[in-house]
Each structure stands twice: as C-alpha cells, then as structure tokens.
Structure 1
Amino acid sequence: MDERFDTGTVVGKKSDTHWGQVIKTPYAFGVVEVEDDEGKAQKAGMELIHSVTREVSEPVSSIQRLFSFIDSLWNPNIQTLLLCVPIGNTITVILRGTGVVYLKRDGHIARLRSREGTISGVVYPQDILFLSSKTCLNGISEEELFSFFDHMGVADIAEKLTLHLHKKNDTVGYAGLFVEVKGGLQEAFPTDEQEPVRKKLRWNPNAYHHALHVQGIKRRARAFWHTLRTVDIRITGILLVLFVVSISVGIVRERSGKKSTEVMKTIQEGQRLYDEGVALLDLNVIKSRERLVEAKQLVDKTKQTVSPKTKEGRMLVSLEKNIAEALPKATKEYEVAPELFFDASLLKAGSSISSFGLYEDTMAFLDTHSKTVFTLQLSTKNGQIVGGGGTLDGSETVAIHGDRVYVFTLAGIHVFNVQDKTVKPFVIKKAADWISIKAMTAFGGNIYLLDTGKSRIWKYVATASAFSDLREFLLPDFFPDLSKAANMVIDGSVWLGTTNGTVTRFTQGKEDSFVLKGVDPPFGNTVIVYTPQNHRRFRKAWGTVFLFRRKALYCQS
C-alpha cells in the first residue's frame, strides 16, 4: 500500500456462498464481494482479486482502459467491485455492482458514490475515505456508521466497526476499507513555477474525468498541452456565448411574435368598432359616437406600446386618422362665429339688455340700467319701446305672453300692454312668502316665479281681470333643493337649469326624472334651458348650445 495513506480493514465472516475481501496495492485499493449459490464464492473471489491485483501492480496509465478491464471481468456472481486509484493528489473511484464511498473532510461526512460509474476528485491530508461492499450497507445505517468516525486512527475505527458487524447475523461476506490521507501528495501534472498555485477543489460527485499520469514530459510538451487546453476553453466559451445569444434571440422573437399577435387583435377590434360607428351615423348618432370613442380609446392605449415605424404602428396611425375624421360627424359639433342680431341702443341710446322673454315671434327685453322695456318682432326685426320710468325701480326680470309684458320688481309685478303701451302696476303684489326670486315665466296666461331662497315655485293663475292669490306649483309634501337653479322655462312641464351643470324637470307638481343621453363630457357649469316646440336647447354659461330631442337624446351642438 502507498505510504501516503493509512488503511483500516473491515472484513466480515465468510461462507461457501458468500465471501468478501479488500484489495491493497501500491497503486490501487478497494473492496470485493462475491456470492455463489453453488458454494464457490471464495474461489471466484480469489480469482477476481488476483486478476485485479495483477492489472494494478504497476502505475495506472489509463482509467478508461482500467474501467474496460473491470467490465470484462464482470459476472452476475459479483456483488461489489469497488476500486480507488490514486494519481498524484487525485483519486478516481470505479464502482461496479452495489457499494458506496463516503468522504470525511473538515468534520463533515458526505456520500460520494452509490451508483455504478466513476468519479474523480482531489484529496487533502486528513481526508478519510470509507469503501463499503453491498452487505456492509445492509448491516449498519448511515447514522450508526458516521458515529464510528471519531478522532481515532483508521485502524482503530475499522476494528470497532468489525466487532460491531460481527454481532449481526446478516453480515456474512461483507468487506470495507478505511483510507486516511497522510500527506506527501503531489500534483498529477506539474506546472511552471510562474503558474499560480492550484486552488482547493471540492469533490464533485457529478464530474467524470480521465486521469492520466504523465511522467518524463519535457517543458515544451507541457507548455503545448496547456496551450491546447487554453484554446479548448476559449472555443468552449465562444460556443457557450453563441448558444446564449441564440436562445436570447429566440426568446425575443417569440415575445415579439406574441406582442404582434396581440396588437393585430387590438387593431381588428378597433377597426370593427370604427366600421360600426360609421354605419350608425345616420341611424343612431349616440351609438355611433359610443363606438367611435371606444375605438379611439383602444387606439390611444395601444399606440403607446408600438413603434410607428412597424407595420402594426402604421396601421394604428391610419385607423386613428379615420376615427378622427369620423368623430365630428358623430358628435355633430358645429363651431360658428356669433353675429349681431339686434342692437338695443338703436331704440334708446346707451341701452343694454338685462333680461329677456320670448313668446312665439316676439321677444321682450328689460334694461334695468335705463329702466326701459322693449319688444322686438324676430321675423321683421321691428323693435319698439313699450314703457319705462320710475315704475321700473327695482326691476329684475321680464316675461311675455301674448301682447302683455310682465316685469318683476322687488315690490311686485307690473304688466305693460304692447298695443297701447299702457301699464298696470302691481297686478301681483309682493308676497310675504317670497325670499329670493331668481326667474319669472309666463305660460298659458299664468305667472310662475322661481324662488331659490325657499326652494319653491310660486304660481299665479290668470282670472278675467287680475290674478289669483299665491299658489304652490309643487305638491305640498314635495321639497326639492332648488338653491342651485339658474333659470326656468315651461312647456307643460317646468324645466330648471342649474349652476352645477344639471337639468331638472317637474310635471304635475312633482319631479319627473330623466337622463340626458349622448353628452360627453357631461355639463360642468351653469346651464340655461330653452324649450322650442319639439326640442330642448341647453346652453352652457360659456356659450355652447346643445340641442336635444324630446326623449333627452343628444342631437347636435
């Protein structure tokens, strides 16, 4: 046995059918276990050990050749053939059959090999190897085995384990070998003095090496060998980089393909919505606008993730352009410049219009500054002054019905006759219930007052010669909040525009709910309501006029 190693032998009881032994030569060591039902186990085992010992009686020059030789000896009676070959500071383990190799290093124990094959690795002083045959594994658990690895020498450890196994009945034919590395190890392949010292290598149970013992090779041959090894490493590195790059390119292409598919689905959906929106232009303007807005939102969201230089990007740009051209047709928005229709200063110098009312083709105007009431026939633009003077002190708003113009003042309501230009003051006197009158409307000859201070609508019914006492239009048990109301018109129902962008309708004294459809975005500030015969016109305070049909469907703006 090599003087660099100490060994401890563990050999169990033998029988004619079951036999085990260890192998120890200067160039290899191991364990053998043979089982023969015909009673020739010892003979077969001795022949096997003789053949192996003769093969490793000289330094091993080829692990591959040794493995092939062991393979040629194999037969079904051999249970274990486990061989360790030290070359420099490297040990190669060859296992055929069933067995196991353990390594103890720095106080830690690990299983190196328990399946057929080979394994190589670097060993260091104070490392302890334990080679075990098949039956030895059956006679003791790993926990028990590890307990024998104490601070004693391998010979003492082997003796303790042998005594322990002899007490068991099922350990006939086992063999085990403890090997401790003492020192004096050399590199298997010496290097130049300038080469850095080789770092310690962990024993790698997955590595498969071919260890070669090279002696007497000159410096030039060693340098050539290292050059070849460096070239191999570089080639391997280049191939590895190319492999990683090819995988990365494949992943990028796959992701790009998936993204392109998703974008095309989005474009198809946007195109479908656009086509539906265009088809609905003349049938249902609200549905048409909804489809086009959906298509626009879809395109806006998708184009942020797609380059306009790609095929999909160009398709999105084209679809976006088509949607932009169709949307004004669906929204029916028209921008017009206002033109002067009538100048009140033509009737009275310096006059301006503070309030107006409308009845059929005639409008009534109130100038609170000059205290004057005008009328204007819209079809002919024929205007005239109906009245004025001190009667209009404290006047605030005006309404018209037939040939009568009603002016609301803080003290009451006066009526002016358009035909003879006479005035009847205080046809309705101020009532104690009034708090803050915001608007006045004449409908059917009756007078309606919007009181935002008390959140009520007051009604005065016309009689043969005057007006009735104050009445409530709203039901007595109905109390809506009218504090935000801005104006009031009546067409059978009472319509209120508000300062918070909403429109309220009351019918027969109670709220008649409805929803304006097709306005996007909704009204956000003061709304003034006007009701011609078949439409509702709602004007935002900043000047946009919206036209709705009777069912509150948006028509145009």
Structure 2
Amino acid sequence: MFQSDFGIYLGKEMVDGYFGFIAENNFFLIFQAKGLTVDEGRDFLNRIKTDFVAEKIENLHNFEDFLAEKIKEKNLPADFSLAAAFLKDNILYLKTINEGKIYLYRDNLLASIIEGNLSASGYAKDKDIFVITVKNFSHLIDGEKKFKGFFDHKKPSEIIDEISPIIKGKEDEGLIALFVQFLLNNEAIQEEDAVVSFSKKNYLLFFGERFKKIKENFFLYSQRVGKRRILTFIVIALIFFILLWSVIFGAKRRHQASLNEKIQMSQQVIKDKLSQAQDEAFFNLEKSKELINEANKELQNLKTIVGERKEVEELNNLIKNEENKILKKEEKKVEEFFDLSVENKEAKGERLYLNGENLIILDKKNGEIYTLSLTKKSLDKQTFKEIKEAMLLASYDDDIFFNSSNGVYKIQAGKIKKILENDKNWGEIVDFFAYNGNLYLLDKGKSEIYKYTPTADGYSDKISYFKGGGRALNDALSIAIDSSVYIGLPTQIFKFTAGQQEEFKTNFPEKDVVIKKIYTNKDLEKLYVWDNKRGTIYILRKNGSYERQVFASILKKAYDFIVFKDNAYILFAAKIYQLNLD
C-alpha cells in the first residue's frame, strides 16, 4: 500500500474569484474560478469532500461522473479550472478540466500527463510525484526543463521551498499547485523486494531442486513412519507446490503489471506530444516536427522495454497518422492511364512534355515521339531516325522540338528540320522549355539560360535570359515557366521574372528534400516539386510556401512527370499513370 506526502503552493488571492484545494483520503484536487466568491468556492469544495467519502469509485468512469455531477449541481461559471487525482488499490485516476494540468515525475523524468478536458488512469509507483496544477504554472518557472531540476530526490515541501522565491516575484495571482508524492510503506517494500529477488531465479531449476529434496526426504521418512504420516506429508508437499506456483505466477503478474504501467505512461506522453504538435503546427512547423520526433523517441524507448506488442503498433500508427495530418501528407494510389505497348510492344518512354492537353512522350530507343491527348486518350506518333539521339523535349502550338548532340530539331506537319546548330559555346544543356514561341535552354555547365526567339527565316542567335547577371546553376536540373522562370536545383529553387531574381524561399517540412524535377505552367496555380528518393510530390504556392505533399510508391521509380489540371501524369517504361493531387 502507498502512503502520501503533499505540499501546496498558493499564489496571491484572486481579486475576482476563488482558488483552493482538497488533500485527504488519497483524494487530491485543485480548483480555480473567476467570478466566484470565497464563500461560494469553499462551499463547493466542502460539498465535494463530504460527498466523496460516501461515493463508491470503482473506475475512471465513476470518478469522472462524480466530478461532472458536482460541477453541474453548483452551476459554476464558464471560467473555471480543475485538476484532480484519486488513488485506489494502487491505481491512480486523473481528471483535468479547462486550464487544469497534471505532471508526473518518475525515474528522473518529468512529463505532462494530461491537460485541458482529459482523463487518464494508471498504476502509481514508489516515489512518484504528481503535480496537480494549472497550465501556466511551469511557464512561471521558465519552462518544463527548468521545472524538472527542482525534483531531484526532494520531498514536496522541499520542492515548494525552492520554487517559491522564483514564482513569488511574478504574476502568481490565483496560482495553485499541489505536489503529491506516493511512497510504499515498509511491508509493501519488503514484499516487492522478495518477489523481485525470487523472479530473477530460474523457476524450473528452483522447482526441480525442491522436488528432488522432497522426494529424498519422502523415501527416508516412509521407512520410519506409517501410512497415516505419509499421507500427511503428501498433503504438506502439495500445499508447498501450490504456494510455490502462486509465488511464481504472482511475480509474473507483477512483471506484466509493470509493463502495462509503462505502456499507459508512454501512451499518455505520446498523445500529449502529438496534441502539442497539432497546436504548434500552424505558427511553428519546426517546433511541431520536434514534438513528433520526441513522440517517436518515446515510442522507441517503450519498444525497447516491452518489445513488439499490439499497443506499440497502435501507437506507431497513431504517430504516423498525426504526422501526416500535421505535415499535410497524403498517400494516394495511382491508376494506369495509358499503355504505349498497345501501339508498340517495344515502346519505352523516357521524357514527357505537356502542350495544352497533349502529352508529348519521347521514345528514344525506337526513334519515336508520341502525342497523347489527355482528354480524348487518342494517340499520334512521329518516327524519325534523328529521334534516336534525342535528349530533351519541348512543344509549342503544333510543333515538337528536341535536341541532340547535333543541335535542336523541329517536327512540323510531319517533317523534321534542324533549326539550331550545336553551339560550341554551350556547356551542358539539362532542360528545355518552349514559352510564347520562344525556346529556353538551361545550361548548367555555363550557369546560363539561353533564349531563342522566332524570326522570319528561323530563330535568333542566343540571348542570355538574365539581366544584371545570373546565379550559380552548376547543379541545375530543370526549368519551368509561367511568365516567371523557375530553376530547380537538388536542394533549392530560384525564381526570376523578366531576367531579374525574385525572393523565393521554400519551407519544406523535411530538411533533407532532394529535388529531381520542378513543374508548373501558365495554367497552373501551384509549383510542383518531385523528390524521387521519398516518392513524393510537394505542392508549393508560387512564392515558395509549402502547402501539402502527396506520396505514391511509383514516384520512386518513375522516369518523368507533368501536371495537368488536378492530376499528375507519371511515366514509367511504356506506361502512363494518373495520380490525383486534389
């Protein structure tokens, strides 16, 4: 059984309200209310104390119902807070309302157990200290980390002596905190030590040795005594075995109870962390992610202690689901949209380009370029030997463009023509975009974007897109244009308008995002960022701010993607898959 020791911190009297506490018969409660007179507050607590003695509390539900009934009877003002705990048969029932909050200090760890309108129950443990208070208590001690430092091997009264000088100099009107420590009495400690000591032995070995001695004694004894005494000895032996197994199974039950207690504690800690993460998500996503990480660490610690259990799996799923909600992450299934092998069994797409509603697909291996209508699902095909050396792809109006080591080609009305010779001053061209009839070539080798405009007899000489100098694009991978120009690098994105750089700051929820491709056009309101390592498309506003993300396993092995209306179209080998992004 447990004994309790408690200490109370009371702040300044409330100008317009009442605060008080109960601490007797293993029932502990703090109460704070604005708009309540001192007499009304005392009457409320006295009524609770009187009625609680006669109340039969068998479980957490009974405890909650009792408090709810007392609150209803008093018709309390809306602005009140309450936190309560009741210990029965080593099980502690907890309840908080509004600003009520309860902390637990155990094994040199301090954790918020419940707060707000919540309830919980669990096994008490020797030397546990519960702090039954209101939410702003720890803030007046400069946060929970500093709060924890006052607990080390101290009694409740000693803790209060240390924190009082710190809080008294601050706004502590109506502040109340009840520190309760539970201690096993001497008989319970001796019983627990004996069980723990016994449980460490090898039960089968212990049983075998005892059985052997009893057997030897039995045969010696049977030679000297009659049948009556032998029968008595057999009965004694049976009683011994029954007691032995009772102790063994008792130790096992205690061990299981200890594991269940740890699971309950971890469940509450994890739920609290996730609840705080939800509260922080809108204004401070980084803090929210830290809290999710802390929840995962708590889960890993629990897993180390209790192993693989149903409760561990449930907590893992809970954390994953809450993380997905907070980070606005959704896993979706793709649908097969079109199979090029229907047209050619050897078909294998390598690159995609969107022109209006038409998806242009490069099949370099077979020297073919397909035009697939995304609205009609009709397919056209262009076949030229030059396509077998194609590297990049673009399209504007009815024209299709591609480049190779020999230059840039245009396919128009079923005919192919080289429109740009390979320029010896080019570095490494890594992407290609057509906008308003102009061609834009991204050269990461020279950190440059070349712009070619149409003329009466072809295209102009190259013009640098940048005005006033460009940026280091040595790692550039892709380009997208919607009137502004977006350049994707593995870990960042640049935005330029009319050749001048604009501020563009991304805030991905993960720090190690590796960009494979970016995509947008003049018909889209968002910028889409593909990380093939994660199998994720991140959806950003066009100022760089993060909106949400969509995961699909096909994105880990895909060759390319584009976005049309609310869907991503993903290329893998001969197949085009559709992924809804709405």
**TM-score scaled by structure 1?**
0.45
Higher normalized helix content (fraction of residues): 2
- The structure whose Rg is larger is 1
